[in-house]
Structure 1
Amino acid sequence: MELLLDNQSLNNSEFYHVVQPIVNLVEKRIHGFEFLLRSKQIQNPEKLFGMAEKNHQLNELDKISVYKIFETVANSKGALDEYQLFINVYPSTMVDPDFLESLKELAAGSNIHPNSIVFEINEAEEILDIEFFKETVVKLKQMGFLISLDDIGKGQANMKNLIEIDPNVAKLDLYFSEDLAFSPKKQDFIYYFHQFLGHHAKIVLEGLEKEEDLQAAKQLGVSYGQGYYLGKPQPLEFYVNGLNDERTK
């Protein structure tokens, strides 16, 4: 089975999103949502994007995802106004001039505030020209959008991008949350990372799945978290209708 996107893909129901909450650990409330693209035809997200890459359609899939999210937000009748919305985008899509122009049109033609949109740089794709990419990031920030860097601590290039790109949000890789309560080394890393970056960007710890690790993160000064313990990927209605997990209240 091959994934072949056409001009009707934007309007059909083949693609949809689930969301996972990002929680303010201090105030014990949902701070925002990460939108995760899904396909009715291809259930596995990794396989979906793998097939899109094989067919040279990653950027097209990215654009469809972004457009659908803007449509969802516009149709939410203000239900998402208080949240930050995290959208995964590949670097090669972000530097596409057509993508930037379409964002201007989307922002101008809707009541969506750009500073509620956080473009999360997809680390599955290498940034080939960091200087050119930084110029694109500056343009997006000037338009009012925010930038997030994902999976920090996963690789050397990732740490370099953290310094060069200067994101608004820094998401620590789930490796650091696993058994955090019992790992002095991970605790030290998060503490010093928070000291290093805490004044420049919001820090989100991913992969929180246990109460003891959540409490350890809070004691280390981590203000935002994401993971199955705080909320699993669900249809947006699950959360905006007030059905979110009691642990996020």
Structure 2
Amino acid sequence: MIRFFGQPKYSITQNALGYELFIRQSAKGNWIFPKNFSQFTAQQLKKLSIASIKALPKGVALVSINLDQEQFINPDFIHSMKAVQAACYPVEVVIELTEHHRHIAPNMLVSAAQKYQAANLWVCLDDVGTGDNTVAMANLLDPYVTEYKFALQNFKRGANFSFVISPQLQFWRQFAQIHHKFFAIEGFETEADLTIGDHYQADVMQGYYLGRPKLITLGNDAI
């Protein structure tokens, strides 16, 4: 059995915006991080996504779902995410393209991104500045991407903020402004971290301090 855990997203004024969905698998009475995400089909993801989004509180503006590059370009996943958006309107479905390297040809990523945009799906580059989600990737997909997300948790706790984290944050904030993208920051773990969101003008904020992922309750026969 698989389920989504939802982690809340907030605006800079801490108004609730929506959720990021994280898939988990039931094993011996516990919900665990799946070892192999490729085991889940596009049909499974579609059914679970629709059921989970419809189970969320009223007024949710957006919900994001993570896809790696192989899933992102797969026609079955493209069609499934189109169906999710159609079934869950007016909730904005955000496709977060993960940073994991999968040796996918650039033209295939561009073609897929075009299809998501044409279906009114919001494409986000996840964890910008790491893995494959570099400046080159941002420029490649620029016409079809709506959001960049920067992950504070990718840096070791205690890393020198001024010399290590701040330059990266400043670069991607400016890059987002120049390219007219929303800018999300995740990884807020303390109250003091919230000043980072304010200083770097985050459009979307997310992190354990603001809310941990929680199981979205569905009927036992949902998936």
Provide the secondary structure at the position in 2 that maps to 1:205: strand
Correspondence 1:44 to 2:29:
no
Correspondence 1:124 to 2:100:
yes
TM-score, reference length from structure 1:
0.73
Residue-by-residue CA offset, 1:148-193 (whole Å, 9 max, x unaligned): 111112236533212212221111122359558x622322332232
Computing the radius of gyration over CA atoms, which structure comes out larger, 1 or 2? 1
Number of equivalent positions: 210
Matches within 5 A, 1:196-211: 196-199=175-178, 200-211=180-191
Maintained 8 Å contact 1:66/1:87: no
Correspondence 1:184 to 2:162:
yes
Cα distance change, pair 63–160 in 1 and its aligned pair in 2 (3 A): farther
Correspondence 1:16 to 2:9:
no
Cα distance change, pair 144–127 in 1 and its aligned pair in 2 (3 A): farther
Residue-by-residue CA offset, 1:106-136 (whole Å, 9 max, x unaligned): 555x3524x7000111323425111111111
TM-score, reference length from structure 2:
0.80
Query: Could you tell me how far 1:196 is from its partner in structure 2?
Result: 1.9
Cα distance change, pair 168–230 in 1 and its aligned pair in 2 (3 A): same
Query: Could you tell me how far 1:142 is from its partner in structure 2?
Result: 0.8
Maintained 8 Å contact 1:178/1:208: no
Which of 14, 17, 20 is equivalent to 1:34? 20
Correspondence 1:101 to 2:79:
yes
Maintained 8 Å contact 1:177/1:207: no
Correspondence 1:146 to 2:134:
no
Cα distance change, pair 236–24 in 1 and its aligned pair in 2 (3 A): farther
Structure possessing the higher relative contact order (Cα contacts under 8 Å, 6 or more residues apart): 2
Which structure is higher in strand share? Answer: 2
Correspondence 1:223 to 2:203:
yes
Residue-by-residue CA offset, 1:75-125 (whole Å, 9 max, x unaligned): 55xx344321001112222222233334444555x3524x70001113234
Partner AA of 1:124 in structure 2: H
Provide the secondary structure at the position in 2 that maps to 1:31: strand
Question: Runs of 5+ in structure 1 lacking a partner?
Answer: 1-13, 238-249
Provide the secondary structure at the position in 2 that maps to 1:198: helix
Query: Could you tell me how far 1:217 is from its partner in structure 2?
Result: 3.0
The separation in 2 between residues aligned to 1:218 and 1:179, in whole angstroms, is: 20
Provide the secondary structure at the position in 2 that maps to 1:163: helix
The separation in 1 between residues aligned to 2:200 and 2:22, in whole angstroms, is: 28
Of all paired residues, the percent bearing the same amino acid is: 20
Correspondence 1:82 to 2:60:
yes
